[in-house]
Structure 1
Amino acid sequence: MNLKYFEYIVIYLSVLLVCVVAGTLARLSFLHKGGDEYTANIVFWSITAFSVLIYGIIILFLDVILVGIKKFIQKRKNSKNTLIKSVPANNLDEKIEVQETIINDNTSILFDEVPKENTLGQTSVLANLESIREVQLQEKQQIENQKLQAAIDYTRNQFALYVTDESLAAICNAISLYSKQEEIPHHTSVMTKELSNLDLYHFGWNIWNHFKPIKQEQVSKLLKTVFVSLDDIDVDTIKSHLKDEPKKGIIKIQENLTY
C-alpha cells in the first residue's frame, strides 16, 4: 500500500474514533441523567455526526484560519517593535527588559507555528507559491507598462512638430499594439512634414531596439503600415535601411529611449 494513502487512512480513522468516543460519552451522560435508550441512541448519532461536521468545516476553512493567525502574529510583532522604539534611549535597563520579554514571547510563537501534520505544511507552501506568482506577475506588468510609456513619450517628443495631433495619437496607438505584438490597422496613414524616410527608418530601429527581441520585420511592417511615404517600399527594403547613416537626419539612432 502507498505510504501516503496509509497516512490518510490513519488520520481519518483517528478522527472517526474521536467522534464516536464523543458520541458515546454524550450517550452515557444522557442515560446517567435518566434518559431512555431510544433518545440516547439519537444523542449518540447526533453528537458523532456533529463532530464529523465540525472537523470537515475546520479542514475547509483551514487556509482562512492560518491567514488570520499569521496576521495576528504579525500585528503582535509590529506592536512590540513599536513598544521598543517608544522606550527612551537613556532608560537602558527598561529597554533590555522589554527586548527579553519579546524574545521569550516570539520563541513561544514560533513553537506554536510548527504544523502538527504534513498537510498543514503543504497548504502553507502552496499559499506562499501563489502569493509569489501574483507578486511577480504584478512586477512584470509594471515593467512592461513603464517600457511602453517610455516609448510613447519618445514618440511624442520626436513627432510633435511634424504631424497633426490626430496622426500623433495614431502613431502612439500603433506603438502600443506593436509592443503587445498585435495587428496594426491598415487604414492608418500618417503624413509627415520635414521628416525624410531616413528619419522614419531611424525611428523604427530605435523602437525595435527598445522592445527587443521582437524581430525587425515587425517594426518594418509597422513603418510601412503607418507612414504614407513608405507605402510603396517593401518590408525587406525598409528592414535593410533601418540603421543607415545613424548620425544624420532629424531623428538619429538612439540606443536608450529613456535618455
Structure 2
Amino acid sequence: MNQKSIEHIALYSLVLVGTLVVGVLARQFVLSKGVDDFSSSVAFFATVIVLMAIYASLQTTFNQFLLPRIETFLLRFSAFQTMKNHNDTVSVPEVPTSKDSNQTTSDIIESAPTAEETISKPSEYEVMRTNSIAKRDRAIQTKLEKVLSYTKQTMVAYMSEEDLNRLCAYIVEYSSSDTLQKISPVKVDSQLKSIDIMHFGWNIGKAFSKKRIHTATFIKNVFAHTLRDLEISTIERKMSHTESECRIKLNGEIGSII
C-alpha cells in the first residue's frame, strides 16, 4: 500500500469519526428535548447522511474548481513550481530480489531483438533506384557546372560582373524549368550582335535538351535589349543559322566542354 492510499484512508476515517460524533451529539440534543428513541435515532442517521453529503459536495467543488485555480496561482512562484516538478519526477522504485533481478535480466536478453531484426535491409529495387537517382543528379549537376563555366568564359569579356552573375543565376533556374518567373534583362557589349546571342542561346539550350521555343523565349527575355528588334518566332527559326561574321560559334566552344 503506497503513501497516497494511506493518506486517503486516514482522511476518510477522520471525516467519518467527525460525522459520527456530530450525529451522537445531535441525537443527545433531540433526546434532551423529550423526543422518543426512534426519532432520536432518525435524527442521528439524518445528521450523519447530511454531513457526508456536504463533505462530498465540498470535496468535489474544491477538486474541480478551487484546486486548479489555487495551483495555477501558486505555480507563478518559482519555489512552488520547483517543488512540484521534484515531486512529479522523483519516485522510489521497488528493489527486486536477487532471484527477480536475474529473471528480469534473462527476460530482457531473450526479448532483445537482433541487429538484423532491428535494421531491415533495403530491397534490391530500393538500392538500384537510389543509385540511379544519385547518378542522374550527379550528371545534371556536372552538366550545369560545365554550362556555367562555358557561360563565364564566353561572356566575361562582354558583360559587367553584376550582369554576368545574374545571367548565371537565370541559367541555373532555366536548367530545371522551361520558364522563369522574374527576369531583369542583362546588357552585353555592342560587339555582340543578335546572332551571337542566338548562338549562345542555342548552345546552352541544346546542352539542357530544351525545346527551341523555350530557348528562344529565354534569351528574348534575358537579352531583351540586344534582341529588341526580333520576335520570338524569328529567334526560334534563326538561332541555329550559321553566319560568317559572329563572335560566338554554334556548338564550337560548348561542344568541347559538354
Question: When the two structures are superposed, what TM-score results if normalisation uses the length of structure 1?
Answer: 0.51
CA contact (8 A) 1:202 1:252 kept: yes
Q: For each residue in 1:54-109, what CA deviation from the matched residue of structure 2 results, as whole angstroms up to 9, or x when unmatched?
A: 888638x63546xxxxxxxxxxxxxxxxxxxxxxxxxxxxxxxxxxxxxxxxxxxx
Matched-pair contact (CA < 8 Å) for 1:163–1:191 = yes
Q: Quickly say closer, same or farther: Cα 1:160–1:63, change in 2 above 3 A.
A: farther
- Alignment correspondent of 1:244: 241
Question: Does the Cα contact within 8 Å between 2:199 and 2:249 map onto a contact in 1?
Answer: yes
Aligned to 2:4: none
CA distance in 2, matches of 1:189, 1:241: 21
State which drifts further: 220-229 or 179-188. Answer: 179-188
Q: Contact 2:179/2:218 (CA < 8 Å) preserved in 1? A: no
Question: Quick one: structure 1 residues 247 and 210, their matched pair in 2 at CA, closer, same or farther if it must change by over 3 Å?
Answer: farther
CA-to-partner distance for each residue in 1:198-249, whole Å, 9 max, x for gaps?
000100111111111x211111111011112224532211101111225540
Cα distance in structure 2, aligned partners of 1:144 and 1:177: 13
- The 5 Å alignment of 1:123-202 reads 126-181=122-177, 183-193=179-189, 194-202=191-199
Q: 1:58 is aligned with what amino acid? A: P
* Structural mapping, 1:100-111, within 5 Å: none
Separation (CA, whole Å) in 2 of partners of 1:253 and 1:165: 24
Residue 31 of structure 2 is matched in structure 1 by none
The match for 2:203 among 206, 214, 218 is 206
Residue 70 of structure 1 corresponds to which residue in structure 2? none
CA gap 1:252/1:207 in 2 versus in 1, 3 angstroms? same
Q: Which runs of 5+ in 2 are unaligned?
A: 1-99
Does the residue aligned with 2:187 lie in a helix, a strand or coil? coil
Q: Which runs of 4+ in 1 moved over 3 A?
A: 53-59, 61-65
> What is residue 217 of structure 1 aligned with on the other side?
213
Deviations 1:16-53 (A, max 9, x none): xxxxxxxxxxxxxxxxxxxxxxxxxxx9xxx9xx98x9
Q: 1:145 to 1:246 in 2, by over 3 A?
A: farther
Q: Please state if 1:234 is matched with 2:246.
A: no
Q: What CA distance in whole angstroms lies between the structure 1 residues aligned with 2:110 and 2:179? A: 55
CA contact (8 A) 2:178 2:214 kept: no
Match of 1:62 in 2: 116
3-state SS, counterpart of residue 226 of structure 2: helix
Q: Write the distance in 2 (CA, Å) between the matches of 1:257 and 1:200.
A: 19
The one-letter code of the counterpart of 1:254 is: N
Q: 2:113 corresponds to which letter in structure 1?
A: I
Letter in 2 for 1:131: V
Distance 2:170 2:183 in 1: 11
Pair 58,179 (structure 1): closer, same or farther in 2 beyond 3 Å: same
Q: Residues 129 and 64 (structure 1 numbering): CA distance in 2 closer, same or farther, change over 3 Å?
A: farther
Cα distance, 1:158 vs. partner?
A: 0.9
Number of residues paired by the alignment? 155
Aligned pair in 2 of structure 1 residues 131, 55: CA closer, same or farther (>3 Å)?
A: farther
Distance in 2 between residues matched to 1:56 and 1:135, nearest whole Å: 36
8 Å CA contact 1:210–1:257 kept in 2: the answer is: no
CA contact under 8 A between 2:179 and 2:214: conserved in structure 1?
Answer: no
> Post-superposition shift, 1:137?
1.5
Distance change in 2, residues 1:206/1:147 (3 Å):
same
Identical amino acids, percent of aligned pairs = 23
Distance 2:228 2:199 in 1: 17
- Deviations 1:154-196 (CA, angstroms, capped at 9, x unpaired): 0011110101001001111111111101542444211111100
Question: TM-score normalized by structure 2?
Answer: 0.51
Which amino acid in 2 is paired with 1:209? K
